[in-house]
Amino acid sequence: MHVVVCVKQIPDPAVPGALNADHTLKREGKPILDESDSYGVEMALQLVDAAGGGEVTLISMAANGETAGLRTALAMGAAKAVLVSDPACAGSDALGTAKALAKAVERAGGVDLVLAATESSDGYTGTVPAQIAELLGWPALTFAKKVDIADGKVTIQRQTEAGYDTVQASLPALVSVTAGVVEPRYPSFKGIMAAKNKPVDICTAADLGLDGQVGWAGARQTITNVENAPARQAGEKFEDDGTGFEKVVGFLENLKVI
């Protein structure tokens, strides 16, 4: 079985974000593997194991050949990666990103299943997985909190407002997984060493026939204003001396909640 996982390399979310003058995201420092994607990588490794063999290929897009985050996922056990890397990719919106990733899936070749996170941690538009499926002409089983494969079919538990739906489709298909779906493994030392030599197939937007469709050109939107959100004022704060609960009772009484 050949499973592709979409992974994003993002600026460390612990560092406060900032924008460049052209409103693109400042990407300074070494990018890391988006934690949301570590679940897809782990799930792919487990599914290939359960199927009794196969391969996990990563696909990713970056403006400048970054591979630091990819190496983390390779160290977890993925076999290889396709990286769409091109300065022209800078400023790509969700649709542009999906176009590049769908082409990368085709380039990876002979794919049974594509896994993605439900949304990236930094952009969180949350549309890329279903857009990739639409571009490939595949079913998309979205918001999975459990994934099983048997007899050429994928079955998931799809998160809903009230519980979950059991959803099934034939392969090839795309599945987006929620955080926490599996416990991502830590790369072993051996894995980290091996990852250094695993193949990363780097291609450009032009190689994929996507000139003008990715990056700012493809995004077709104008940013008209950027400002800081109004700050909310802090109110009163009390050290609890055993009577802190009374302050809460008084506050709720004032609001006529009790």
Partner 1 sequence: MTLNNVWVYAEANGDKVTTATLEVITKAREIGTTVSAVYAGTSGDSVAAQVGEYGATTLYVINPGEGLPGQVAAAGIAQLVNEHSPDAVLFVQSYDGRDAMARTSVKLDRPVLTNGFTLTAADGLTFGTAIFGGMVMVDAKYADGGVALIGIRPKSFTAEPSGGGAASVVTVDGFDAGRAGEAKVLERFEEEQTGPKLEEAAVVVSGGRGIGASESYKPLVEELAKALKGAFGASRAIVDAGWVPYALQVGQTGKTVKPKVYIALGISGATQHLVGMKNSDNIIAVNKDGEAPIFGIADLGIVGDVNKVVPALIEAIKNKA
Identify residues 69-98 at the interface with partner 1 (CB under 8 A): 93-96, 98
Residues β-bridged to residue 82: 59, 201
Under rule CB under 6 A, residue 13 binds ligand FAD: yes
Distance CA 240, CA 27 (A): 43
Q: Which listed residue (52, 53, 189, 229) binds partner 1 by CB under 8 A? A: 229
Write out the two tokens for 59.
């696909």
Under rule CB under 8 A, residue 247 binds partner 1: yes
CB proximity list for 120: less than 8 A, separation 6 or greater: 8, 10, 34, 36, 37, 128
Asked if the peptide bond before residue 87 counts as cis, ω within 30 degrees of 0, the response is: no
Residues 113-132 touching ligand FAD, rule: CB under 6 A, are 121
CB proximity list for 97: less than 8 A, separation 6 or greater: 61, 128, 214
Residues 200-219 touching ligand FAD, rule: CB under 6 A, are none
Residue 231 burial by Cβ neighbours in a 10 Å radius (0-12, 13-18, 19+):
exposed
Please state the closest distance from residue 2 (CB atom) to partner 1, in A.
18
Residues 110-149 touching partner 1, rule: CB under 8 A, are 118-119, 121, 124-131, 133-135, 137-143, 145
Residues 7-66 touching partner 1, rule: CB under 8 A, are 16-17, 19, 23
CB under 5 to 8 A by kind: which of ligand FAD, partner 1, none does 2 bind? none
Comparing CA positions, the residue from 6, 36, 59, 1 lying closest to residue 175 is 6
Under rule CB under 8 A, residue 161 binds partner 1: yes
Q: Between 151 and 240, whose beta carbon lies closer to partner 1?
A: 240
Of all residues in this chain, which one has the CB nearest to ligand FAD in the complex? 121
Contacts with ligand FAD by CB under 6 A lie at 13, 121
